[in-house]
Amino acid sequence: MKRVAILISGGGSNMVRLLESMTDDHPARAVLVGSNDPAAAGLAKAEAAGVATFAVDHRAYRGDRPAFESALLEHLDRAEPDILCLAGFMRILTPEFVSRFQDRMLNIHPSLLPKYPGLHTHQRALDAGDAQAGATVHLVTPELDAGPILGQARVPVLPGDDADRLAARVLVQEHRLYPQVLRRFASGDRTPVLIAE
Ligand code: GAR
């Protein structure tokens, strides 16, 4: 049974879907949910699901990313996770932190990578006139949003879409995609999961 820790920054809807998926014959179990924001709404959702939580407020470590990450690691190391899932975690991690979880840290990103790493992905897809948008789950490497792809979900861009409407439809697919990727990854299979709306 693989032990999974999840990092969030906000509402944690992807995190909740991951927790809900890890039941019965699933090859993994959630052991810890953490956030860089003590007020992240997702923390209460994880607690309600019976999962231990922690927060390390990044604002207390302004300008000292290694110290922030050391504090994160104190919590994470105690939980001895085999897999670390970033689920709406909005802090950039140093190469040193990434190397601690090499080949076992996953991230979900709201674009069809390699298109649109970074922020404002939906607006950028709309501005480019793309016919499709989506989300990607990938292994985290030191380069932002550039690691090997473990799964993608596609949605059509519809007439009248704005960034919010597109984001909402992509999020529905994120909720399908991330649990499928985690299940496959935890069982040792890295074949990409490809789904469409
Ligand atoms: C999701 O759309 C996720 O793809 C995105 O943040 C949202 C978090 O929602 N992640 C990133 O932008 C990472 N750069 P959630 O907290 O409801 O899961």
Domain coordinates in residue numbering, the chain: 1-101, 109-197
Cα 197 from Cα 190, distance rounded (Å) = 22
The reported pLDDT for the residue numbered 121 is 98
Which of 9, 13, 14 is the pocket-test mutation for ligand 1 (most atoms within 8 Å of CB)? 14
23: left (phi over 0), alpha (psi -120 to 50) or beta: beta
Q: What is the pLDDT of residue 2?
A: 98
User: Mean pLDDT across the chain, nearest whole number?
Assistant: 98
Residues 6+ apart with CB under 8 A from 141: 98, 147, 148
CATH class of this structure's domain 109-197? alpha beta
Spatial distance between the Cα atoms of 14 and 176, rounded to a whole number of angstroms: 9
Crossing angle between the packed helical segments 13-21 and 41-48, to the nearest 10 degrees? 20
Q: Which residue has the higher pLDDT, 24 or 140?
A: 140
Nearest-5° Cα angle at 59, 58 to 62: 90
| 1-101 under CATH 1.20.1250.10, yes or no | no
Residue 29 Cα, ligand 1 centroid: separation in angstroms?
21
Question: What digits encode the pLDDT tens for the residues 77-108?
Answer: 999 999 999 999 999 999 999 999 999 999 99
pTM greater than 0.85:
yes
Residue 87 CA, closest ligand 1 atom number: 18
Amino acid identity at 34: G
Domains 1-101 and 109-197 share a fold: yes
Quote the percentage of the chain above a pLDDT of 70.
100
Protein residue whose Cα sits closest to atom 14 of ligand 1: 109
Q: Which of 21, 43, 108, 122 to mutate to test the pocket of ligand 1 (most atoms within 8 A of CB)?
A: 108
pLDDT tens readout for residues 149-179: 999 999 999 999 999 999 999 999 999 999 9
Tokens of 86: 């970033």
Closest ligand 1 atom to Cα of 108: 4
